[in-house]
Structure 1
């Protein structure tokens, strides 16, 4: 607020709530700051687990004030949920690039399956899933948020690809969403459950994942591939 020569108050551009912001983001709208907080939170959650992690720990790891964190996220549960959603979005974008309709379907599914199965059996993914399951008794909404389908996810992008293959006469299916889920499950048969429940402590080798994916493609195309 400024005062004119006559002593009356003059409202400046910065004082008006409807004035456009030039070079300054409103609180909670800086993407870089949000990513900085999520990166710090991920380090803490992966090192300490969900229950043991504190907002003070996350504050230090992210290099921001606690007040800044609460501008972007309601609480620790909200922060963890957004971290999981970010990782899922990154995986989705990665596997989406593998779904090239110009390549043979077997080659495309091989690349997609390798990327997905490698990610889902990785240490950081398994730890995150275990954290959610462990917290389910106290925070059931967090577990529901973790496993609920989002509009864009690995299943949805694979379904879009299969829809194109159906249109091209390469795949025969009247329920490509279900077919996409089946293929994804096939890529991790004998790998994911042993990993999540601890009977397979080591990350599966690339060769083991490749054998799994190759078998998944053979079964999938036997069921859904158009016959010559």
Structure 2
């Protein structure tokens, strides 16, 4: 199977295919999204699809990895961050909570959960390129703060996953299970700031 690195995802034709695949996968699931349906939505031929992707699993992998890498790089930025870890964490938390509530990320979470039992390899792709990638990037930010003496953390990897879960408190699961469909900015700020406050109480000297 191809890696995402073997596909030039910036070419217009690949973007066109991925756009069609995205709507098909999120609406119909992995198994339900046939290649016929994907090419119909993308407005390309099957021959064109297979020129870029060897099979449907490769296309799915490229879609998931691309979406997750883009969002992890945006939320947990390693460059241009202020040195003050509190300011960094508050910015990350707010961006992360907003991302978790976005329709696209909610759809990807539901897709990964729905397909995990039948297609564990595909669910693992989502985990590795989504939640785990975010935790690895956050670990790098935390390690820098520990080195500067701003935080005291014995298990940085665990702390990164704890931060992730704090940001998912309350409204993420309400949204994921469609208990509620919208949240005012006041509630988003409450969750993001509460996550940082709890995290700093645990790890700040």
Superposition TM-score, scaled by structure 2 size? 0.84
Once the two structures are TM-superposed, the CA of residue 207 in structure 1 deviates from its matched residue by 1.6
Partners of 2:9 and 2:100 in 1: CA distance: 30
* 1:193 and 2:193 matched: no
Greater Cα shift, 45-54 or 58-67: 45-54
Indicate yes or no: 2:121 matched with 1:110: no
1:142-221 correspondence runs (5 A)? 142-148=122-128, 153-200=133-180, 202-221=181-200
Normalized against structure 1, the TM-score is what?
0.76
Residues 1:191 and 1:63: Cα distance change in structure 2 (over 3 Å): same
Give the gaps of 5 or more residues in structure 2.
1-5
Contact 1:99 1:112 in 2 (8 A): no
User: RMSD over aligned Cα, in angstroms?
Assistant: 2.6
8 Å CA contact 1:73, 1:79 repeated in 2: yes
| Cα distance in 2 between the residues matched to 1:192 and 1:57 | 31
Write 1 or 2 for the structure with the bigger share of helix: 2
Is the alpha carbon distance of 1:99 and 1:158 closer, same or farther for their aligned partners in structure 2, counting shifts above 3 Å? farther
| Comparing 136-145 and 29-38, the one that deviates more | 29-38
Shift, 1:152, TM fit: 7.9
Q: How does 1:37-186 map to 2 (within 5 A)?
A: 37-97=17-77, 100-148=80-128, 153-186=133-166
Gaps of 5+ in 1: 1-26
Cα offset, 1:121, TM superposition: 2.0
